[in-house]
Structure 1
Amino acid sequence: MLVSAPEMTTDNQAENTPTSSPTDASVETVRKVYAKDLREKDSVNTVFRVTKKDRVTARSGKVFLSVVLVDKSGEIDARVFDKVETLEPAFAPGDYVLVRGNVIAFHGKVQVVIEALERLDPEPLDPKEFEPPAAPAPAPAEQAPAPKAAAPAREAREERRNEEQAAPKTGGEGHGGARAVGQIREIITERVNDPHVKALLLAFLDDPQIAAGLPHAPAAKGVHHAYRGGLADHLLSVMRLTLRVADHYPMADRDLLLAGAFLHDVMKVAEISPEKGFEYTDEGKLVGHLVMTAQKIREKTLSLPNFPPLLEQHLTHIVLSHHGRLEYGSPKLPVTLEAQIVHALDSLDSRIASWVEAMQRDPNDKWTENLRLYERSLWKGPVPTVRGRAPVEGGGRKKFKEKKPKERPEKTAGEASPSQRPEKAERQEKQREPRPPREPREQREPREQREPREAREPKPPREPVNVPKELTFKPFSVLTAKTEPANKPEGGSDSEG
């Protein structure tokens, strides 16, 4: 919503600025508070210019907006945790906004938590009030050091690792799937250079269907990564592999490799249900995730301005050919370096994950049982090198069997356990040995005879208690009898005395 700019006053202008006319209802007087003067627990109601706005998903799955506000004193970080869907389309980088909220301290830096925000008409505002101070020039005798590319990346990673602590936590699983999604976004943001490719991948991550399903979706029904969050783990693993391969094969394009690694299986969020059993959906059976991803690429590229058609075709080709063979469901065979690499790395990651999971389930020590899927047994014992480690530690099911308490054999009467028998025999031997005779005790000296006590006066006899000598009563059987005895005396009571 575009509103009229408020009449802004600074500390120097506050005393000399006349109040606005009551008839001008569209003008609001707002005192300008500069970014460098904000402190923890301050309330914010002032104007800034937006220089950055990002939609971020924390490791908990919570979506929030990361905003940078600026004025002539400097810039300050801000966050929108509530009403994200309402406030996100209300402003953009470069807009002047009236911000209402509170200031908190996050990792030693002040940060504005935005509760309400309005976009303003920039015409009445002085642009000089919102130009950040220029960086100090280096001394003439000293050459400015080259900027370190890794420093912003480290700061971004550290910030994302701690965003979950600042964002209000909601109920949820909070498993590895959500963490993998956050790491995928981090790679896309920091390692993808082409602006069109980055915009497309972020549009996929921000798609409501993908954002809701990716932290929980499995990568397959039962072959590999068949668990909740397994799809995000698989995509992240293939993306990391492409980064290593791109360094080895510089003739392949890194941005296309990263895009293909993320896109190739991403629409499995709609192909396989994450509920119990991981059944295929109707759309998954009728269309399949390769075509569903191609459709989603066309949908997103149409919404992005000036997206190159040839770039869209290369990305679609990587997705449609990543199974590698026509009989495996790919309508096209790989014909580009990037498509061939993505196919190979996808096959490698899924095969290794499948083998390791099979080894973990197998109860044997060295060789697995014959796997019908691969028609072979797999070696799972230690490697014959100085490393000496097995691919899977603990031996799979056997590891869990050892944790169960062993059943103890029932003891018969008078039978001792094997661990107790030697000790008992030793005790019996010791008891059989004759004891040495005791030494005679020394005769104690007789005690001195005490003087006899004085005889006490006899106590007076107690007064007799008035208790009847005889008590008569009827037994309980007589009291509970239904009929009275025939020989009951007339006029007599049930008991006497």
Structure 2
Amino acid sequence: MTTDNTSDTSPNASPTDASLETVRKVYAKDLREKDQVNTVFRVTKKERVTARSGKVFLSVLLVDKSGEIDARVFDKDKVDALDPTFSIGDYVLVRGNVIAFHGKSQVVIESLEKLDPEPLDPKEFEPPAAPPAPPAREEQPAPKAAAPAPAREGREERREEQAAPKSGGEGPGGARAVGQIRELITERVNDPNVRALLLAFLDDPQIAAGLPHAPAAKGVHHAYRGGLADHLLSVMRLTLRVADHYPMADRDLLLAGAFLHDVMKVAEISPDKGFEYTDEGKLVGHLVMTAQKIREKSLAIPHFPPLLEQHLTHLVLAHHGRLEYGSPKLPMTIEAHIVHALDSLDSRIASWVEAMQRDPNERWTENLKLYDRQLWKGPVPTARGRAPVEGGRKKFKEKKPKERPEKAAGAPAGETQQAPRPEKAERQEKQREPRPPREPREPREPKPPREPVSVPKELTFKPFSVLTAPKAEPADKPEGGSDTEG
């Protein structure tokens, strides 16, 4: 959903004060991913944060009467320029766009302007009152012994497994994973050319529309809608851990390879039912499509180093690892070998886990033709005692066809009808007995209707810069003119 937030000029705001401007108010609770923001909020939190990579960004909390929304200023030049211009409690006109991060909407601020609070209605920026706290319960005596640590660990890991995507369906990744990928690129990639290239990929219309829904494969691993974004995010996180262990590998190239290696599967595999390969996917393939896209995006970035483009292209062309697996080049850099190894690791583990989830057995899976082996899916023989997956598909007993009782007249000659067993006849007789009628339920009290929220169509405000601008002397004013911009 995209919201049109076009600001209006002063003639609609006030005929007497040319410094007033008007903008349509969009509330925090109504903002969704990909919305364009151009509206007024009040600042309740502002913090200059240094990420683990050493990059500095501005964390801001914006509020109005519908609730609050997180906002970020990532560009270093914008952080330095905007930080001193506003404070906590100020009313600000925010322009930017909305992304999804950890399942929540977040505003990426492009520009911000402090406003004069006088024309604004403070009630529009008071956050909603918190619901009343539940009545305190009487404290019960605590148990003598706390639950053992392994049990707590098991419960936490089970919750993580329940959140994991299941094969063949709609995973929890999609837009949320894409938002986390953007956050990693923005915060953890230090090289400006690499960061610009990766963000250009994310902003490409074809990738932006397809990545939240694309599967990573037709059926081997991450074969569900949103699986591709989950796979790319997983490999990117693995590269961050490996980069800490192998400091001789370049972190920026590893993150770039992890993101780029499969990204053009958005055009290779259809997200529709069946996950069929497209004509372009069959004729060209995602490796070549990505190499073409790298050339296209790098040419649009001024002074992009040719050798950097070649290293990024090599990461993609070599990530299958072997010529017979479809890579036109073998890995020739440390970063290319690491990307190949982590891609293979993540896809293999996902494939095994998905096979275990589908398998009906308890200890060993059935023989997997793809890997020519059985997999152990029972609990491990350690103190942890966990199985790789819990449950799996239930094994149902085959139902025998019900024998229809034959009529005596229609029975073949020489065959006798078997009388029903006493136990079965008794059960049938009980089933025929009428059940007592259920007691009628008490009708529920209807909920009181919600009070309608008065949503103003537009807000009138005065930019703070107008108040601080130096006033010209009356003698210098031209006749019939004004020294204030409209």
Q: TM-score, normalised by structure 2?
A: 0.54
Q: Structure 2 vs 1, CA of residues 409 and 393 (structure 1 numbering), >3 Å: closer, same or farther? A: farther
Report deviation, 1:413: 6.2
1:230 and 2:227 aligned: yes
Q: Which residue of 2 aligns with 1:29?
A: 18
Q: Which residue of 2 aligns with 1:481?
A: none
Q: Which residue of 1 aligns with 2:85?
A: 132
SS at match of 2:215: coil
**Contact 1:75 1:132 (8 Å CA) reproduced:** no
Q: Distance in 2 between matches of 1:304 and 1:184?
A: 21
SS at match of 1:251: coil
Calculate the aligned-residue CA RMSD, in Å: 4.5
Tell me which of the two structures has the higher relative contact order, counting C-alpha pairs closer than 8 angstroms and 6 or more residues apart: 2
Unaligned runs of 5+ in 2: 1-8, 47-62, 72-80, 89-97, 109-169, 406-418, 428-486
Higher gyration radius (CA): 1
Residues 380-409 of structure 1: per-residue CA shift (max 9 Å, x gap): 111111111111211x32x2638x999999
**Contact 1:61 1:178 (8 Å CA) reproduced:** no
Equivalent residue runs for 1:270-309 within 5 Å = 270-309=267-306
SS at match of 2:35: strand
SS at match of 1:163: strand
Structure 2 residue identity aligned to 1:132: T
Q: Structure 2 vs 1, CA of residues 290 and 222 (structure 1 numbering), >3 Å: closer, same or farther? A: same
Q: Distance in 1 between matches of 2:395 and 2:33?
A: 36
**Contact 1:217 1:272 (8 Å CA) reproduced:** yes
Structure 2 residue identity aligned to 1:372: K
Structure 2 residue identity aligned to 1:332: K
**Contact 2:10 2:20 (8 Å CA) reproduced:** no
Q: Distance in 1 between matches of 2:24 and 2:354?
A: 56
1:62 and 2:33 aligned: yes
Q: Which residue of 1 aligns with 2:351?
A: 354
1:200 and 2:189 aligned: no
Identity value in percent: 68
One of 211, 214, 217 as aligned partner of 2:211? 214
Q: Distance in 2 between matches of 1:347 and 1:110?
A: 36
Q: Structure 2 vs 1, CA of residues 305 and 107 (structure 1 numbering), >3 Å: closer, same or farther? A: farther
Report deviation, 1:194: 1.4
Residues 347-395 of structure 1: per-residue CA shift (max 9 Å, x gap): 000111111111122222222222121111111111111111111211x
Q: Distance in 2 between matches of 1:109 and 1:375?
A: 51
Residues 137-166 of structure 1: per-residue CA shift (max 9 Å, x gap): xxxxxxxxxxxxxxxxxxx99976431799
1:401 and 2:390 aligned: no
Residues 207-252 of structure 1: per-residue CA shift (max 9 Å, x gap): 1101111111111111111111111111011011111111111111
Report deviation, 1:314: 0.8
Q: Structure 2 vs 1, CA of residues 182 and 318 (structure 1 numbering), >3 Å: closer, same or farther? A: same
One of 151, 157, 163 as aligned partner of 2:105? 163
SS at match of 1:305: coil
Residues 104-147 of structure 1: per-residue CA shift (max 9 Å, x gap): 44645799xxxxxxxxxxxxxxxx9x972699xxxxxxxxxxxx
Q: Distance in 2 between matches of 1:65 and 1:190?
A: 22
Equivalent residue runs for 1:249-260 within 5 Å = 249-260=246-257
Unaligned runs of 5+ in 1: 21-27, 33-42, 47-57, 78-102, 112-127, 136-155, 167-172, 421-497
Equivalent residue runs for 1:268-417 within 5 Å = 268-394=265-391, 396-397=392-393, 399=394, 401=396, 415-416=422-423
**Contact 2:70 2:106 (8 Å CA) reproduced:** no
Report deviation, 1:278: 1.3
**Contact 1:69 1:76 (8 Å CA) reproduced:** no
SS at match of 2:105: helix
Structure 1 residue identity aligned to 2:34: V
Tell me how many residue pairs correspond in the alignment: 307
Structure 1 residue identity aligned to 2:33: K
Structure 2 residue identity aligned to 1:253: D
Equivalent residue runs for 1:177-192 within 5 Å = 177-192=174-189
Q: Distance in 1 between matches of 2:382 and 2:102?
A: 40
Q: Distance in 1 between matches of 2:342 and 2:45?
A: 42
**Contact 2:101 2:180 (8 Å CA) reproduced:** no
SS at match of 1:335: coil
Report deviation, 1:64: 2.4
